[in-house]
Structures are given as structure tokens and as C-alpha cells.
Amino acid sequence: MEEKETNRGSDKVHGGLYAKVKMSVRSANILVAVLCAALIITTVFVVRHGGFTVTFDTDGGSAVESVRLKYSETIPSIDSPVKEGYRFSGWYTDRSFTRQWREEDPVVGSMTLYAKWEK
């Protein structure tokens, strides 16, 4: 962003994003510190207590219960779903079955895993 500057005698008046903010540097520093602290506290709370939900779409197979995990945890071992006339061939992160989910993959957000079946 370009900064515009006007010279009024010995004082410089700066233009731009904060041109009309009437706040002392000390007050601005306190405000920034409070906002940073609030962001850190919120992030820690969400990571420790919020968690993420992993849902399993079995596409007509036996139901698999959703699991709730914290950030970077891995999905615990679960029983493979069953579908008559088909063989289960893994969980995928998309309906097109382009990326297979691996047991060691960490959970970084709520998501749905899709069961792939072979005749």
C-alpha cells in the first residue's frame, strides 16, 4: 500500500489505512497485545476442547460411527464396513477416490471419509 505524506512545517501527516485513527502509540500497543492474547487463548481452547468430527460415508455399507478427535490426532482403528456382494477397499477423502486415507494421517479439520467398494 502506498503511503502518502504531507509536510506541515515540522510535523508530518501520514495518509493511508490509519490516517484517521486518533490513538496514542501506547494505547495502540495495549490494544494489539490484548487482541493477540485473545487470539492465543481462543486457539488453545479450540485445539484442546473443540476437536473435529470425522464422518464415514459407507455408500450403502454397514454403518460406522463418527469419531471426534483433537487436532493432529490419528483415527483409531475401526472395523471395516460390510456391503453384500462387495469387498471394502479403503477409505478415501473424496468421492472420486483419488486420495486414500492412511492410518497415520493426522486429522486437521472436520471431514468425511468415503468407503470404496469393489465388486
Question: 8-35 burial string, b = 16+ CB within 10 Å, else e?
Answer: eeeeeeeeeeeeeeeeeeeeeeeeeeee
Per-residue confidence (pLDDT) for residue 5, from 0 to 100: 53
What is the number of H-type helices and E-type strands within the chain? 1, 6
Q: What is the torsional sign of CA 21, 24, 28, 34?
A: negative
pLDDT winner (highest mean) among 13-17, 22-26, 67-71: 67-71
| Pairwise CA distance, residues 86 & 62, whole Å | 12
Overall fold of domain 51-119:
Immunoglobulin-like (2.60.40)
Residues 50-108 pLDDT 10s? 789 999 999 999 999 999 998 889 999 999 999 999 999 999 999 999 999 999 999 99
Q: What is the pLDDT of residue 24?
A: 84
Tell me how far apart the alpha carbons of residues 67 and 79 are, in angstroms, rounded to a whole number. Answer: 13
